[in-house]
Structure 1
């Protein structure tokens, strides 16, 4: 059941208004909250979020809500939360940007970066979902001047 007052005590890190008019609040370490029709609904690791630190929130063209978390990547399709597992990445293959790409950069101390030996950039392609530990920023080519996230 939703509540009417935001209960975060450690602060809000990210905010998104989605295409349905819902407002999403990502917290420092208390999960994510959706304001829908005047009610607040909370999502944490207890109900499917990859980590309770939500650094940024993004909506794709299909209305899927993506959460860049302290550990990993999660998505919400309107009914359930999904966490994507790490994918092996070969940096020798290079990178090619298209209008529909969604890229994430991971922390140099964890995740795929161990395979590269340093910081790296990762692409979500829809067929081989990935999750990077400690994602630092996300990038979408179509909105390149508006969709950077991180710190």
Structure 2
């Protein structure tokens, strides 16, 4: 075929759109097509989720009320259960130690995960009167590890469902706080500690659900705070330490309680009359702007900006029964509970669980 002047001009015109390396030259005025990677959602266990934890690498762990634990890397998840070595499929809490081991508090004691395998560690239970191992009081679960926290001396603290708290140094357990609160029908104390938190000074705070108020351990001795000291209630559900060093407490809500804050010298309580969404606070989290996110029993998630309380909703949807709230390494806020898990990136809320 002969190349006419017109054909040659056409070839030159086409070649002008081809770059030197053989790639089509990008037109900056047109949007680039990005490959979208689908995020696999976590299946919702029958009884929902109980807690969440941000790992050192930014991945997330979620505990469940019967489905074991879920490890989520942002795209996919892996579910660990008793078949993998967990002490129980009912998991309440997670903590990490100085060796990067993960610890899971379960209905049947502790489980240690060294990133390769699981090791089950049962809790001791002593009779607070005789000192002998006794039959577990049926109304409570002394072997249940509801709360976990590590201190500055690399000890692991465990809050139980009736035996107070234990301090575990890696070899042995030492019992604390078993004889505070209210006596039960067998005339013994069964102190249920559902939450433990370390503050910015290294003090360890223990919440009691059996009318023991809150106890602070400074490394040498315990200080107990009750209603007479300024708490609005003596049944504590959760504890949070904000960026300024203040300690916030959420309560069971059986009395005229609310959200109480301790500044190191005195207590102040915000009640429903002050605009608090609900007096049964289950979860507290401070975002990067200093707002407090509050999860409550049977009511919607709300935010406290230091002046007023407001319910949080997205496109008309509210989120109730939130049991945990946390922030990841990218400042996303994750919250969840019985109904599922959601992620808030500052603009939109994404549901991260599925019922399928």
TM-score, length of structure 2 as denominator length? 0.32
Alpha-carbon offset, residue 100 of structure 1: 2.4
Alpha-carbon offset, residue 128 of structure 1: 3.0
Match of 2:42 in 1: 6
Match of 1:85 in 2: 122
- State the secondary structure of the residue aligned to 1:107: strand
If asked which structure has higher relative contact order (CA below 8 Å, sep 6+), I would say 1
- Determine which of 112, 115, 123 is the counterpart of 2:167: 123
Contact 2:110–2:123 (CA under 8 A) maintained in structure 1: no
Match of 1:30 in 2: 67
Output the CA distance in 2 between the equivalents of 1:126 and 1:138.
18
- State the secondary structure of the residue aligned to 1:83: strand
Output the CA distance in 2 between the equivalents of 1:74 and 1:101.
15
Alpha-carbon offset, residue 50 of structure 1: 0.6
Distance 1:140 1:128, change over 3 A: farther
Trace 1:54-73 onto structure 2 (pairs within 5 A): 54-73=91-110
Match of 1:136 in 2: 194
Output the CA distance in 2 between the equivalents of 1:83 and 1:140.
25
Output the CA distance in 2 between the equivalents of 1:89 and 1:60.
26
Q: What do the CA deviations read for 1:2-43 (whole angstroms, capped 9, x no partner)? A: x92211232111111110222001011110010136220111
Contact 1:34–1:41 (CA under 8 A) maintained in structure 2: yes
| Superposition RMSD in Å | 3.2
Contact 2:54–2:60 (CA under 8 A) maintained in structure 1: yes
Larger radius of gyration: 2
Output the CA distance in 2 between the equivalents of 1:60 and 1:81.
15
Contact 2:165–2:193 (CA under 8 A) maintained in structure 1: no
Output the CA distance in 1 between the equivalents of 2:195 and 2:158.
6
Contact 1:14–1:25 (CA under 8 A) maintained in structure 2: yes
Alpha-carbon offset, residue 85 of structure 1: 2.7
Output the CA distance in 2 between the equivalents of 1:86 and 1:19.
27
Alpha-carbon offset, residue 78 of structure 1: 0.8
Gaps of at least 5 residues in structure 1 are 109-118
Alpha-carbon offset, residue 47 of structure 1: 1.1
